[in-house]
Structure 1
Amino acid sequence: MSDAELTVGTAGPVATIVISNPGRRNAMTAAMWRRLPVLLDRLEADERIRALVLTGAAGTFCAGADLGDLDELLDAGDASIAVAAEDRLAAFARPTVAAISGACVGGGCQLAVACDLRLAAADARFGVPPARLGLVYPAPTTRRLTRLVGPSAAKHLLFTAELIGAERALRIGLVDEVLPPDGLAARVDAVTATIAERSRLSVTAAKEIVDGRADEERIAWWHGQVRASGEAREGVAAANERRPPRFGWTPPATG
């Protein structure tokens, strides 16, 4: 029986998915790629969850796809289970944070880029290795990387397949913050706790708009939710009274 797995834990309103594949630096197997969307569906259905952390076990984020499943990935091309898992992660309805230590390479970088925020330990290393392996990086993945770091930095990563350190990743916009290794967990906890305290209406609308998934009709709907929900009135009242706001908006049920 394989000991490669994805595990889920929750602490209050924050859920954490941990990538674990001992002996292969947490490389993602076919079973793990298939399992990720299932876990994301389950967590998204839980109204208590306000933020999601994706991380790796034992000081390593993820060294990529387990190449023992290479034939399956090659045959599928852009319709691979890896791309499906990446797309599902990118579409997750709540904010997602990648907490990155050690290797974040190939499929691991693919998952990290699909998250909303990336916080990295100073010992993190990033790489996109298809040119070293004779593969073509999936088009959706390549486009998502390019939107994040820009064409020149994306080409450098893709053309050279070189590993880069956390500080360079920060300079090109691949990560948002670099922390001492012993400070990463505390900073991730602080960021997700802050997100969980904010207006869910504001955060959810912002994610849709930034990701380009809200058309004019949807944006108008969001403004209507602000008027109908009283979130803005509560936020302003809380600021004036110097107290924490008591936000209560939840997405309307769809039938």
Structure 2
Amino acid sequence: MTVADAELLVEVAGPVATVVIRNPARRNAMTTAMWRRLPELLDGLEADPAVRALVLTGARDTFCAGADLGDLDELLDAGDASIAVAAEERLAAFAKPTVAAVRGACVGGGCQLAVACDLRVATTDARFGVPPARLGLVYPAPTTRRLARLVGPAAAKHLLFTAELIDAERALRVGLVDEVLPGDGLAARVDELTAAMVARSQLSVAAAKEIVDGRADEDRIAWWHGQVRASGEAREGVAAFHERRPARFGWTPPARH
């Protein structure tokens, strides 16, 4: 395997960017270089006004089998300050909607990344697992809390205590994934979801994401309401509803300084 074989690929089609995890020799495990690269990619995609949604997926028939354990010492020494946690936090804070499109194994660091996305859509052959108890590791605290918020304490403890793999149907029941589809239906459904997201008011979507994720205080919420008044988004949305036509939303986020 050459170094170039383990990489994150970016594909942009219209307003949707797709980040592909590719490491064929290790079932798309994330290397140190890949963990470091992910926040950089996300910074660029977030700053691009043409990109309105992000899809994270794995190359071919595997999402991501976890962190490459060849880099274990570096991850252990860092603890909760690891580059893996930093990449997860950056993905969770991405200002635009994110969808994990999951095929095959979604384990360890792969599950960590999927949980950091807004939505998770999986094929029937997907398998999910959180293996620290099998390896003698402590799952990072931010990662553990995010998992528990998503699936609830009992389901999180089952995954963490047993390190068992669960199938897509059980993942759906506990809320780890939002939809389960036949393998040949995944791409079309992801396209459908992202098309709906990018057609909506980006002001509404961005505000909702911040509020749901608990990142908007009272001042920030007031700022969002001010953006509604100043932008004309609501007037356009209501007019489009009454005229039975698609809304022509035009709000874009202010540049960050």
Question: Structure 2, unaligned stretches of length 5 or more?
Answer: none
Partner SS, residue 26 of structure 1: coil
**TM-score normalised according to structure 2 size:** 0.98
Q: Aligned to 1:93, which of 86, 95, 118?
A: 95
Tell me, in whole angstroms, the C-alpha distance in 2 between the residues paired with 1:188 and 1:129: 28
Tell me, in whole angstroms, the C-alpha distance in 1 between the residues paired with 2:96 and 2:165: 30
Tell me, in whole angstroms, the C-alpha distance in 2 between the residues paired with 1:78 and 1:176: 28
Tell me, in whole angstroms, the C-alpha distance in 2 between the residues paired with 1:81 and 1:31: 9
Q: Aligned to 2:188, which of 186, 189, 192?
A: 186
1:175 aligns with 2:188: no
Q: How many angstroms does 1:228 deviate by?
A: 1.0
Q: How many angstroms does 1:251 deviate by?
A: 1.7
Letter in 1 for 2:160: L
Q: How many residues align?
A: 255
Question: Structure 1, unaligned stretches of length 5 or more?
Answer: none
Q: Which residue is equivalent to 2:221?
A: 219
Letter in 1 for 2:14: G
Q: Which residue is equivalent to 1:120?
A: 122
Q: Which residue is equivalent to 2:12?
A: 10
The runs of at least 4 consecutive aligned structure 1 residues that moved more than 6 Å come to: none
Q: Deviations over 1:71-110 (max 9, x none)?
A: 0000000000000000000000100000000000000000
Q: Which residue is equivalent to 2:145?
A: 143
Tell me, in whole angstroms, the C-alpha distance in 2 between the residues paired with 1:5 and 1:80: 19
Matches within 5 A, 1:66-85: 66-85=68-87
Tell me, in whole angstroms, the C-alpha distance in 2 between the residues paired with 1:202 and 1:68: 43
Q: Aligned to 1:165, which of 159, 164, 167?
A: 167
Q: How many angstroms does 1:253 deviate by?
A: 3.7
Tell me, in whole angstroms, the C-alpha distance in 2 between the residues paired with 1:254 and 1:85: 20
Tell me, in whole angstroms, the C-alpha distance in 2 between the residues paired with 1:254 and 1:26: 33
Q: Which residue is equivalent to 1:36?
A: 38
Tell me, in whole angstroms, the C-alpha distance in 2 between the residues paired with 1:11 and 1:29: 26
Q: Which residue is equivalent to 1:233?
A: 235
Q: Aligned to 1:245, which of 232, 244, 247?
A: 247
Q: Which residue is equivalent to 2:23?
A: 21
Q: Which residue is equivalent to 1:129?
A: 131
Q: How many angstroms does 1:23 deviate by?
A: 1.8
Q: Identity of counterpart residues, as a percentage?
A: 84
Tell me, in whole angstroms, the C-alpha distance in 1 between the residues paired with 2:86 and 2:224: 28
Q: How many angstroms does 1:254 deviate by?
A: 4.9
Tell me, in whole angstroms, the C-alpha distance in 2 between the residues paired with 1:136 and 1:126: 18
Q: How many angstroms does 1:191 deviate by?
A: 0.2
Letter in 1 for 2:132: P
Supply the RMSD in Å over aligned alpha carbons. Answer: 0.7
